[in-house]
Structure 1
Amino acid sequence: MERLERFWLTLWDGFNSGRKLKLFLAAILAWLLVAAAVGVYWSFEPDRFDVGEQARLQTATEQPVTGAYTVTTLIHQIEMLLEKPGGYISNDILPPGIWLDNMPAWEFGVLVQVRDMSRALRKSFSRSQSQSTEDPALAKAEPLLHFDHRNWILPSSESEYRKALKHLRDYRTRLVDTDKQDAQFYARADNLRDWLDDVSTRLGSLSQRLSASVGQRRINTDLAGDSAGRQATVSSDELEIKTPRLQVDNVFYEARGTAWALIHMLEAVERDFGDALDKKNARASVRQIIRELEATQSTVWSPVILNGTEFGFLANHSLVMASYISRANAAIIDLRDLLSQG
């Protein structure tokens, strides 16, 4: 009888242990499914926003002053980086954020344009000439936005970017206050051309990285423009350049984030620099650049970024993106030339 009891007790204990293990595994599986669903939701890119509406809403005026559109657009883009679904993901160290790579790449594309615009505000847009004093709020905001985008503690990236927001809002508050003259915005063609020069450089690099998804043989131009002797020895060598397969989607989404940010910035620039653009007959050029960049925001129906060969059976999303980026960059180069003309 005792043996029989021990047998049933052992069997019952084994059943209980097995049930606990199954419950534990089921809980892990449920958590993974929820985390995956949340990760998919966090990976949705933010929608476009109305630049004019945001400027009127945040400045509480029907006719914002010159510069308010550009500054408000910059502020709102930073706000969206921090407050979109999932918040700022690039420095996450826990699931599901740590598993995601497309959204952090998109965030970095936006952040680079935010940094370039903040530098343009500090260096050019807010100063009448090279020897004039820079705005103190902008001088504090720019280095804060250049803080490491992957730092998660002591201090976190978000905390530094929020500090930059405070300084940018302070500059905007003083800018829209018509009773004071301690904040200025100079919507001149030369200032706009300087910013466009940075934009063109960024787009040129992105176009090359996107095109390298299938591998390219290029002439080494590292010393282009250098002395003839050194150039002759270097430029004759060919380089094989190819983006690693696991980085192809990251470059693609960085380009989409870059284009998303530039669309809004150019829409703001068209409003703030309207007079300068009209004098140069350049307003249509700005709208054409926006049109080219808008094509980069089309819905990606494939669950993965395809990397087919140039004329292969499968599509190559990176080459399509490179085409739009290159055309926008060519239009920007033409616009810079137009703005430099007397």
Structure 2
Amino acid sequence: MQFTRNKVFSVAAVAGLIGYAVSVWWSIEPGPIEPEALQNEQGKLIVGYATTQSLIVTMETLLDKPGGWLSNDMMPPSVMMDNMPAFEFGALEQTRDLALALRKEFSRSQSQSAADKDLSAAHSKLNIEHTSWLVPSAESEYADAIKLVKLYQARISDTGNPSAQFYARADNLNEWLKEVQKRLGSISQRLSASVGQDRLNTDLAGDTSARQSTPSAMSDEIKTSWWKIDDIFHESRGSAWALLNFMRAVEVDFADVLEKKNAEVSLRQIIRELEATQETVWSPMVLNGDGFGLVANHSLVMANYISRANAAVIDLTNLLSQG
């Protein structure tokens, strides 16, 4: 009996070590997409190719990385992991925003023009719940979305097929950047709440006639739960990783627009700040020191980079809005 019990404990210990090793391997974050991956095989400059390719490669990387898509797994060790699923969700949110911009802005010449069917279907499939694991699974829907974006990409690459277009204009780029501003602003606020903040209510500031549905307090203390701090941190890294991929593509497709507006440096500043968010975290866990305390606060460091990237995005939108 004693021998059997020891044997069971030994097997459980070995299984636990193997599961831990696998979870560590699966938690390795993918690196940013290199600019070379955004070029077509023929080396021709096709407007819109880099942007669509960045979306395709970003989603393919998430689906094909070690362990695949982990957010919807129901078996160990991935069911007990939360860092990589949070990273996946952050990247997915940015991908959804870009897919929406492709459908509403980049592929349409005017507000009265028809939406591209492939992009509409792709955006719909990307909006499935990221934790869905059965009928349909998130992976299958996202894989279908990739195929649909590839169809659109093939059509804009065909010079003999004018039915599909990608319009690289300052106004439609600005529309997407406005969504990026909101996304980065939200991320920065959530990261800053790691130490707790007493925030004043500025919801109706700037408009004396503005109203809201229900009254709210003049100030409120916002603090992230200790259990959610690492999730928000890794979600922010995933969001910044995907956005970095997309900004590098924008630098290619909108080169003429940026040059005309003298905005190349502003975009490069955004890219530089986003690259800083992808530096290696050497600590085995996300530290959450208090303000100027002895222990580092990784969330505040990330919030600093995100806020600076957001400030650069605002500067870029202002430049693009000028005649």
TM-score tier, shorter chain, comes to: over 0.9
Q: Residue type matched to 2:221 in 1?
A: E
Structure 1 residues 237 and 108: alpha-carbon distance in aligned structure 2, compared to 1, 3 A threshold: same
Partner of 2:26: 42
Q: Is 1:290 aligned to 2:271, yes or no?
A: yes
Query: Equivalent of 1:162, from 140, 143, 147?
Result: 143
Q: Is 1:177 aligned to 2:158, yes or no?
A: yes
Partner of 2:126: 145
Partner of 2:107: 126
Query: Equivalent of 1:63, from 25, 41, 44?
Result: 44
Q: Residue type matched to 1:314 in 2?
A: V
List runs of 5+ in structure 2 lacking aligned partners.
Answer: none
Q: Is 1:88 aligned to 2:73, yes or no?
A: no
Partner of 2:316: 335
Query: Equivalent of 1:319, from 295, 300, 304?
Result: 300
List runs of 5+ in structure 1 lacking aligned partners.
Answer: 1-16
Partner of 1:243: 224
Q: CA offset at residue 234 of structure 1?
A: 5.6
- What is the SS of the residue equivalent to 2:221? strand
Contact 1:219 1:235 in 2 (8 A): no
Q: Which has the greater radius of gyration?
A: 1
Structure 1 residues 236 and 47: alpha-carbon distance in aligned structure 2, compared to 1, 3 A threshold: closer
- RCO higher in structure (CA 8 A, sep ≥6): 2
Structure 1 residues 55 and 294: alpha-carbon distance in aligned structure 2, compared to 1, 3 A threshold: closer
Partner of 1:195: 176
| Counterpart-to-counterpart distance in 2, 1:228 and 1:341 | 29
Q: CA offset at residue 93 of structure 1?
A: 1.0
| Counterpart-to-counterpart distance in 2, 1:283 and 1:295 | 19
Q: Is 1:54 aligned to 2:37, yes or no?
A: yes
- What is the SS of the residue equivalent to 1:217? strand
Structure 1 residues 19 and 163: alpha-carbon distance in aligned structure 2, compared to 1, 3 A threshold: same
Q: Residue type matched to 1:141 in 2?
A: A
Q: CA offset at residue 48 of structure 1?
A: 2.1
Q: Structure 1, residues 254-289: CA drift from partner, whole Å, max 9, x if none?
A: 111111111111110010000111110001100011
Higher helix share: 1
- What is the SS of the residue equivalent to 1:239? strand
Structure 1 residues 30 and 236: alpha-carbon distance in aligned structure 2, compared to 1, 3 A threshold: closer
Partner of 2:15: 31
| Counterpart-to-counterpart distance in 2, 1:191 and 1:147 | 25
Contact 1:187 1:276 in 2 (8 A): yes
- What is the SS of the residue equivalent to 1:61? coil
- What is the SS of the residue equivalent to 1:214? coil
Q: Residue type matched to 1:23 in 2?
A: K
**Over aligned residues, Cα RMSD in angstroms?**
1.6
Q: 1:12-31 to 2 correspondence within 5 Å?
A: 17-31=1-15
Contact 1:289 1:332 in 2 (8 A): yes
TM-score by length of 2: 0.96
Q: 1:212-231 to 2 correspondence within 5 Å?
A: 212-225=193-206, 227=208
Structure 1 residues 25 and 236: alpha-carbon distance in aligned structure 2, compared to 1, 3 A threshold: closer
Identity of counterpart residues, as a percentage? 55
Q: CA offset at residue 228 of structure 1?
A: 5.2
* Number of aligned residue pairs: 322
Contact 1:223 1:234 in 2 (8 A): no
| Counterpart-to-counterpart distance in 2, 1:34 and 1:268 | 39
Q: Structure 1, residues 88-120: CA drift from partner, whole Å, max 9, x if none?
A: 001111111011111111101100010000000
Q: CA offset at residue 201 of structure 1?
A: 0.2
TM-score by length of 1: 0.91
- What is the SS of the residue equivalent to 1:155? coil
| Counterpart-to-counterpart distance in 2, 1:139 and 1:224 | 36
